[in-house]
Structure 1
Amino acid sequence: MEDRLQCAWPYRQDGTHGPENADSKCAYRSRRRAHSRVAHTIRGGQDLARAHVGADLLRVAALAVCLLWAVAAHAQLSVWLSHSTHKIRPNVPARVRSVIHLFAAHGEYAALQISVRADHPLRVLRIVPTALEDHASAIGRWQMTVYREAFIRTVHPTNVVAPVGLWPDALIPTVDNYYHERRNALPWAVPARFTQSFWIEIYVPRTVSAGRYRGTVAVMIRTHGHVQVRVLRVRLRVLPFAIPATSSLPSSFGFDGAPLSLVFRGHYGRLSNTQLMHLTQLFNIAALKDRIALSGGSGIPAPMHWAHGRLTLNWHEYDKEVRPFMTGCKAAHGARWRMTDVRWLTHVFYHKMPPREQVAYFRAWARHFRHEHWHVGLYALGVDEPHTPAQFALADRRAAIIRRATHAILPMVTTIHVHRLDLKDFGILCPVINDVDGLNDVNKRTLLGRVAKRYHLKLWWYQSCMSHGCWVVGRRSSLGWPSYMIDQPAIYNRIMPWLTWKYKMQGELYYDTDIGFSMGRKNPWKDQYHFGGNGDGTLFYPGLPSVIGGKRDIPIQSIRLMMIRAGYQDYEYLHMASHLYGRQAVLRVIDHAIRSTHSWTKSPRVLRALKWRLAMMIERRLKGGPHG
């Protein structure tokens, strides 16, 4: 057709249309008629083409609308990263952060949070981290655990600045670390205008090389029937040193195995001794991974027999329960206890056992530990928080009985009132933190140091409901103390080991980690308000399959426990730096931010910067750098 059109439109030499000469007129007319027919055909084709183009334009317009809608939906959906020392509540607005920078030593856990929020309902389907790699080695996915942060609704505030409502606390794993069962953390529906966060922990093995590791986390989300994938970037600096598997800071956090039957089998059920022991071991594994030691245990007593002036204990059940934690627990990266308690003291002190049998009882404990070659310290708390003259006298008598039996067991007393005790028989003096350096600017640490040196005492301390107000809403005087409460900022849960190092205390005591399991009809998943604080005495949740999915019972850790672990990891940096540079050099680094028991930085960024500076000091010295 193109050739025919060219023939039909000859050009004169002057450039005008028409025949070149008269002889060509007939041919020209013929060609004009042919062209007329062709032009008619073309016009018809153009009309048809216009119709097709119109349909294509409609399709393109529809596609553009869909794309614009998808872009709008994409814009309404926010997925971002945060550091771990933040509690991200449901009303937290969307942020923009697609890359996070972490650092950790060998043997340390690093952690991050992923949050999602949209103006419409959505469903988080999967969260998939890749291996973290550098040029020499990799940290595999099996070293990472993904959790969903579950919320608990507070009704009573812990103090006057703690808002009531939903707080993130329990951490439900996608796949648990005990039985490797899939739990119901994901998929998870998120309401409109609701911020839901997820926790990822990364363990740095001792076998990988130091370096800069890179990886990603893919977040798959279904929204409006479509699946979106957001890819976030993780950067981890692995430092050229390691922290020990067993914490350098001894601790004893209380645990009572008796209520486990109540929550894991109901009021009409009962765990067998074997089941109770196994479940207690799982809680101990979780605690050791969080760098703390549990005391109390399952509560299964050792049968005692008194005959011919000698006390005999059947240690079979006790040994079976505690042996992994005495010698190094493989499931907790080889960590072990540094201190543990003498158990069943109610049988000794409250059942009117004669003094001779009491002495025999404590000697049996010391003898058994020597026989097993367990290099774990023993302590016994004779009287907790004595207040009256009779209670102080009773504490003295019980300490004397223990000392008469053996020097391998350290009698402990929880008080600041050293002048009311006969301290020669005690081994551990453990005051509450508020009494060591209170709001009245009276720092008793120097006095405690003199007393400890004179009587060869170890100094521990503990926090209590005095940090928030006991059975009352904490007033202004209760603000600023370290706290293990749910509705306090995460840094409050983390700061205790920093203060422990600064005040040269040698251990931490905490009265309970599962008291919420035994509070009558209270469901610890819904109510942990005890002694005026949300979460007081309860750091675990019961991991029932009816709540978290799967088939078997497990302990569920809280964000607060993760913060305690982070603080105990921080302590290793302080401990190592002071060993390399001297205590005064480290104090010069932290004193401006960690001033006293009730005056310390509330900024996670500042705390992170302090830890980074300590890390660089350690790295420089280990590489042979300058002092100071």
Structure 2
Amino acid sequence: MRRWLFGVGLLAACGGGGGAATAGESGGEMMCTDCTPVGAMTYALPSPPGAVLWTTTTMDKVLREAAPPTATGEALQLHAARNEFEPLQLVVRADAAADVTLELSAFTGPGTIERREVHRVDYVRISEPSDPAAIGSSQIPDPLVPVAWSDVHAAPAGENQPFWITVFVPPDAAPGDYEATLTVTVAGASQAIPVKLHVFEFALPAEIGFDGNWNASFEALGGGESLEKVEALKDFFFERRLVPGSVAWPAGLNYTGGIAYDCASATFLAEDNAYDFSQLGPKYIEGVGWNGVGFPSFQIMQFVDNSTPRPQEFCGVDRGPDHYGTDAYNAEWSKLLAALEAYLVERGWQDRGYYYVQNEPQGPEDYDVAAFLADLAKTAAPNLRLAISEEPKPEIAEHPQANGHGYDLWWADLSHFDPAYAKTRQAAGDSVWWYFLYGDLPPHFNPITIDHAGIETRIAHWAAWKYRIRGFAYYSVTGWGGDPYTDPRPQGTNQNGDGFLLYPPQNGQPVTSIRWELLREGVEDFEYLRLAAGGSVPATPDEAAGCDLSVAGAVSSVTSYTRDASALKHLRDELGYFLEGARDGCPQLDSEAPGAHERAAYYLNFQDPEGEPRAEPLEVDGHTWTKIGWPAYDAAKGWGWSGPHIGDASIMLYQYLADAPVDELQRSVIYNDYGRTDTFNWDIENGRYEVTVSIGWFDREYAQQRVVVEGAPLFDSVATTPAEPYRVASVTVDVADGNVTLEAGQTDQYTMLNWMSIVPVD
């Protein structure tokens, strides 16, 4: 896999804020009994002649060609805490090409809420889908162009034109119910639509509680023009609760610029100019003279490049032929690290700053260097936090050459994340982040991909809470290269959108994106969960807190999570009602896919639907078995697969063992020939079920087969052999998210699936 160089980044501290003590004390076991059921969130609105106005969740990407919904509603509805931004989508579909204008009045109720913004949703041309889970269209909505309420927009004939409307509820807003009027004019005909806003009786914390390393070029965004432009861009990041890769840019605390380091005295020398770190550091780290809060942490310095942790020469001393350095070089380097520590301690920033030591070590030789550098750094500067972009692993954390010294921050590529060992490091006091790459393929969520469903961006933060992940990192927010509207693969990878989450500025303003705005929604969701846990994040997943069971209903693992955007949005809204005291417990996900099966027993035979066994119906052991192959998940059918190679018949294979002395069900086998994880969903009415699965292949041996059902390991690296060619196991699960989820396989290992049954349990 191609691995990426990260730029400058930060780490957030989790703390502060209020919370629901009862939920924290109960460990999330007090579930809501008075929550409202999910209602329609995609529906047509009152419309002017010659047009259809409609709405849907902001996680639903509205295709130009999508048919308007048949369900109807009379108003738009928002729910938000104080100090929260909350968006909605308004879609205009004009019968004939027409001019469109929008006007939204101020919200009135217990008080007045003034700030409201509008963006026009634009589209990116997709010449090739990212992967089998990609949305199937040549135009995918993503850019959000800032426009004024008075602007006139051209709506194409017979196609959808969405608008993204965002309301900000100030920290001092009175809680309660507000209303405004959205007036939409199409070809001169106007329609007034009520917009209802419920402001919860709590506020999101002023500080950012979920960290990140969103590496951006401020120069590309226009920040090189003046410090005023820089501050506007820092506002842009902070209001989205996203941490830029370089907090104090154009200054920094390192030896390369932004502050002077004197090798002779081994000290940092402040200079009397507005661009020095001594001026910009306190401003953006503590918020002095800015917003009074600042960003939660900052990166002090980082490696030279992917394969070179330290520069060849430092303070006039050559490093030598390898990365371990000479004694003279290491002495100078240790002085630098001690100076960094002293600078941080003097200002009380030792829990904010960190040194990003090494990027993605690739094997034992790199692990040796990582351990050596950790020992060197901690010996010179015991209070200096160290970061490494690698999943927590014993080869580094327990390396004998580290002499008990280690890394404080682990940045794990999502696809390589090992929850079990990560928990070990979290228990030892380390923090774990995730970062995302083009290789994070289905069934993993990937927040960076343009032609993936929007829920993948937001659900990532619910998964982060589940695993106590403290931040996200991404190597490039502004790496669009040429024209990202027509070339969404500037890095040459398989993912549309890889390398950029923002678009080139227009009229001096950043052009944000659906992906970027949904990151804010996800971070705000994380803040709700933090408040439900009393304002802090437990160290490990073993420490139950707040509304953990609300999260468990939405996320079973990093490859098993709800795809129901309306259900997730409703879950967040009900969580808000719980936090303000209007619900008696933590909400559960209320999901009902259009193809959901009624509560009953189902028997599923994994086989080639067009091959053997050919009996129709397939009757075995007194049950009728549905033939299940490798089709992609389809909500309308209520079942299907998600995985990196679904749809590729050369990889997703079938076998029928005609001569095996077993029944028809175990003669049939399906498997992923590349040995990857695939997720199967069977949408079904909520309740308790016994799920049974058979794996194996007659007269063959497969050593590390893995099957997980609803997050519970059924087979965990289990072997089948010629002596025991099949294994059958059952687990009883409580389905609260509207589907039974089976995860099969792991990297580079075969899992041979035979059949699965789902039987209600009283």
Question: What TM-score range do you get, normalising by the shorter chain?
Answer: 0.7 to 0.9
> How far off is 1:97 after superposition?
4.3
Instruction: Letter of the 2:477 partner, please give it.
Output: T
In structure 2, the residue matched to 1:426 is: 407
**In the aligned structure 2, how far is the partner of 1:164 from the partner of 1:335?**
43
Q: Does 1:497 align with 2:473?
A: no
CA apart distance, 1:565? 0.4
In the TM superposition, residue 462 of structure 1 has moved relative to its aligned partner by 2.0
Aligned mate of 1:161, from 122, 125, 133: 133
The match for 1:230 is 191
Match of 1:174 among 133, 142, 147: 147
Match of residue 364 from structure 2: 389
Aligned counterpart, 1:128? 103
From 479, 494, 500, the counterpart of 1:532: 494
Tell me the CA shift for residue 338 of structure 1. Answer: 1.2
Summarize the Cα distance change of 1:277–1:536 in structure 2 as closer, same or farther, 3 Å threshold.
farther
Would the alpha carbon gap of residues 351 and 277 (structure 1) be closer, same or farther in structure 2, given more than 3 Å must change? Answer: farther
| Letter in structure 1 aligned against 2:406 | D
Aligned to 2:266: 310
> Separation in 2 of the partners of 1:98 and 1:320?
52
Residue aligning to 1:514 = 478
Matched, 1:214 2:179: yes
1:204 deviates by 0.5
In structure 2, the residue corresponding to 1:255 is in which secondary structure? coil
Task: Flag the 1:375–1:559 CA change in 2: closer, same or farther, 3 A.
Answer: farther
Q: Secondary structure at the match of 1:526?
A: coil
Considering only aligned residues, what root-mean-square deviation do their CA atoms show, in Å? 3.0
Aligned residue type for 2:88? L
Show the 5 A alignment for 1:82-481: 82-95=56-69, 96-124=72-100, 126-134=101-109, 136-140=110-114, 143-162=115-134, 163-175=136-148, 186-222=151-187, 227-257=188-218, 260=220, 275=225, 278-296=228-246, 298=249, 301-302=257-258, 304-314=260-270, 316-328=275-287, 335-343=293-301, 345-346=303-304, 349-353=310-314, 354-374=329-349, 377-416=352-391, 418-421=393-396, 422=399, 424-436=405-417, 444-454=418-428, 456-468=429-441, 478-481=442-445
What CA deviation, in whole Å up to 9, does each residue of 1:283-302 have, x standing for no partner?
33211111111123646623
Is the CA contact 2:351–2:385 (under 8 Å) kept in the aligned structure 1? Answer: no
Q: CA deviation at 1:257?
A: 4.1
Q: Distance in 2 between matches of 1:336 and 1:303?
A: 20
Larger CA Rg, structure 1 vs 2:
1
Please give the alpha-carbon distance, in whole angstroms, between the structure 2 residues aligned to 1:321 and 1:119. Answer: 53
When normalised by structure 1's length, the TM-score is 0.73
Letter in 2 for 1:542: P
Distance apart, 1:116 and its partner CA: 0.8
1:220 Cα deviation after fit: 2.2
Report the alpha carbon displacement of residue 357 of structure 1 after superposing the two structures with TM: 2.9
- Counterpart CA distance in 1 for 2:263 and 2:456 is 52
In 1, the alpha carbon distance for the partners of 2:545 and 2:335 equals 46
Displacement of 1:584: 5.4
Show structure 1 runs of 5+ residues with no match.
1-72, 176-181, 265-270, 437-443, 469-477
In structure 1, what residue type is equivalent to 2:414? I
Shift of the 286–525 alpha-carbon distance from structure 1 to 2, 3 Å rule, reads farther
Q: What SS is found at the alignment partner of 1:495?
A: helix
Q: Is the 8 A contact 1:153 1:167 kept in 2?
A: yes
Question: Which residue matches 1:602?
Answer: 563
Paired with 2:133 and 2:55, the residues of 1 have a C-alpha distance of 26
Relative distance call for 1:313 and 1:361 in structure 2 (3 A) is farther
User: Match for 1:428: what amino acid?
Assistant: L
> Residue 303 of structure 1: CA displacement?
5.3
Q: Give the TM-score normalised by structure 2.
A: 0.61
Q: What displacement does 1:343 show?
A: 3.1
Distance in 1, matches of 2:92 and 2:288, equals 37
CA shift, 1:406, in A, is 2.1
Q: Deviations over 1:564-622 (max 9, x none)?
A: 1001111111111122899356233332222111111111111122212322322228x
Change (3 A) 1:461 1:486: same
What is the CA-CA distance between 1:453 and the residue it aligns to?
A: 2.9
Of 489, 503, 513, the residue aligned with 1:541 is: 503
SS at match of 2:157: coil
> In the alignment, what sits opposite 1:555?
510
8 Å contact 1:296–1:343 — kept in the other structure? no
One-letter code aligned to 2:170: P
Could you say if the C-alpha distance between residues 330 and 498 of structure 1 is closer, same or farther in structure 2, counting changes exceeding 3 Å?
farther
Q: Which residue of 1 aligns with 2:626?
A: none
Report the Cα offset of residue 405 of structure 1.
3.2
Please give the secondary structure, in 2, of the residue aligned with 1:533.
coil
Distance 2:267 2:546 in 1: 52
C-alpha separation in 1, matches of 2:586 and 2:522: 26
Q: Distance in 2 between matches of 1:277 and 1:319?
A: 15
Corresponding residue SS for 1:199? strand
Q: Counterpart amino acid of 2:523?
A: Y
Q: Which residue of 2 aligns with 1:565?
A: 520
Q: Residue 64 of structure 1 corresponds to which residue in structure 2?
A: none
Residues 106 and 151 (structure 1 numbering): CA distance in 2 closer, same or farther, change over 3 Å? same
Deviation at 1:314, TM superposition (A): 4.6
Q: What are the ranges of 5 or more consecutive residues in structure 2 without an aligned counterpart?
A: 1-46, 252-256, 315-328, 537-542, 588-762
Alpha-carbon distance between aligned partners in 2 of 1:215 and 1:587, rounded to the nearest angstrom: 35
- Distance change >3 Å, CA 148–CA 329, structure 1 → 2: farther
1:277–1:321 CA contact under 8 A, matched in 2: no
Q: Aligned to 2:532, what secondary structure does the other structure show? A: helix
Q: Which amino acid aligns with 1:192?
A: A
CA–CA separation in structure 2 for the residues paired with 1:627 and 1:614 = 6
Contact 1:313/1:364 (8 A) holds in 2: no
Aligned counterparts of 2:210 and 2:263: Cα–Cα separation in 1: 41
Greater helix fraction, Structure 1 or Structure 2: 1
SS in 2 for 1:326: helix
Structure 1 residue 432: Cα displacement: 1.8
- SS for the counterpart of 1:189 is strand
Q: Would you say the 8 A contact 1:155–1:164 is kept in 2?
A: no
Q: Take 1:299 and 1:509, find their aligned partners in 2: how far apart are those partners? A: 20
Q: Give 1:79's aligned residue.
A: 53
What amino acid maps onto 1:242 in structure 2?
Answer: A
